[in-house]
């Protein structure tokens, strides 16, 4: 993996462990030679991951919609900053520029990005690993809900392994590197659907 799209919050929670996690991830990815593709902002976890990767010489590419340039305070010190018109273009460029997706704690926008990466993988628009860093149990309920969707039958057995989960970055990157693409909906027969 040469580049990962990193999804995380633009907010700064009161608990400093979230910002520290983002700093650690940014630095660790850069030290491994893995570029960061992210939302292009300089605030919150987004800014922390970018600044920490840049501080150790990492490549950081931002992708931000024009309407959010001022709201998210676009980071002007990146390796590259792409300004796009829509959120859809933003997520499509994340996919085009990256070899996989890494989700850290975040809010609604982070969930939108994660679920689109999962949905596109399920369908077959990409065959890249989708990693969920469950640091401190942040995503425990989401993981349980995803398992519930599968148990009920809304997630096919072939797609239960799309989201790769680990509480530690090293373990998650190992899983993402070893990821074998699953059978996509586009490749299924009518009987398999």
SS (H, E, C) the chain: CCEEEEECCCCCCCCCHHHHHHHHHHHHHHHCCCEEEECCECCHHHHHHHHHHHHCCCCEEEEEEHHHCCCCCECCCCCEEEEECCHHHHHHHHHHHCCCEEECCCCHHHHHHHHHHHHHHHHCCCCCCEEEECHHHCCHHHHHHHHHHHHHCCCCHHHCCCEEEECCHHHHHHHHHHCCCCCCHHHCCCCCC
Backbone phi and psi for residue 63, each to the nearest 5 degrees, phi listed first: -135, 115
pLDDT one digit per residue (tens) for the chain, 193 residues? 999 999 999 999 999 999 999 999 999 999 999 999 999 999 999 999 999 999 999 999 999 999 888 776 899 999 999 999 999 999 999 999 999 999 999 999 999 999 999 999 999 999 999 999 999 999 999 999 999 999 999 999 999 999 999 999 999 999 999 999 988 888 877 777 7
Residue 77 lies in a domain: yes
Residue 117 lies in a domain: yes
Half-sphere exposure of 160 (CA within 13 A, CB side): 12
Backbone phi and psi for residue 64, each to the nearest 5 degrees, phi listed first: -135, 135
The number of folded domains in the chain is 1
CATH assignment at residue 47: 3.40.50.450
* 164: number of Cβ within 10 Å: 21
Residue 64 lies in a domain: yes
Residue 57 lies in a domain: yes
Residue 94 lies in a domain: yes
pTM of the model: 0.94
Residue 8 lies in a domain: yes
**Buried (b) or exposed (e) across 181-191, using 16+ Cβ within 10 A?**
ebebbeeeeee
How far is it, in rounded angstroms, from Cα 22 to Cα 126?
Answer: 26
Contact 165, 172 (CB under 8 A): yes
How far is it, in rounded angstroms, from Cα 117 to Cα 14?
Answer: 28
How far is it, in rounded angstroms, from Cα 155 to Cα 180?
Answer: 18
Residue 193 lies in a domain: no
Residue 192 lies in a domain: no
Domain that holds residue 129: 3-187
């Amino acid at each position: 993996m040469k580049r990962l799209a990193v999804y995380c919050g633009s907010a700064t929670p009161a608990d400093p462990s979230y910002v520290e996690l983002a700093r650690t991830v940014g630095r660790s990815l850069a030290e491994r030679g893995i570029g960061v593709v992210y939302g292009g902002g300089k605030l919150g976890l987004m800014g922390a991951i970018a600044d920490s990767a840049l501080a150790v010489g990492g490549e950081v590419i931002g992708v931000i919609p024009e309407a959010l340039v001022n709201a998210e305070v676009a980071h002007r010190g990146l390796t590259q900053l792409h300004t796009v018109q829509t959120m859809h273009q933003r997520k499509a460029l994340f996919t085009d520029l990256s070899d996989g997706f890494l989700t850290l704690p975040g809010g609604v926008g982070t969930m939108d990005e994660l679920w689109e990466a999962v949905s596109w993988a399920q369908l077959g628009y990409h065959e890249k690993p989708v990693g969920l860093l469950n640091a401190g149990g942040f995503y425990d309920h989401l993981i349980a809900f995803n398992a519930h969707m599968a148990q009920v039958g809304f997630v096919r057995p072939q797609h239960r392994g799309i989201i790769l989960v680990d509480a530690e970055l090293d373990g998650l990157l190992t899983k993402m590197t070893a990821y074998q693409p699953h059978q996509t909906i586009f490749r299924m027969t009518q009987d398999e659907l």
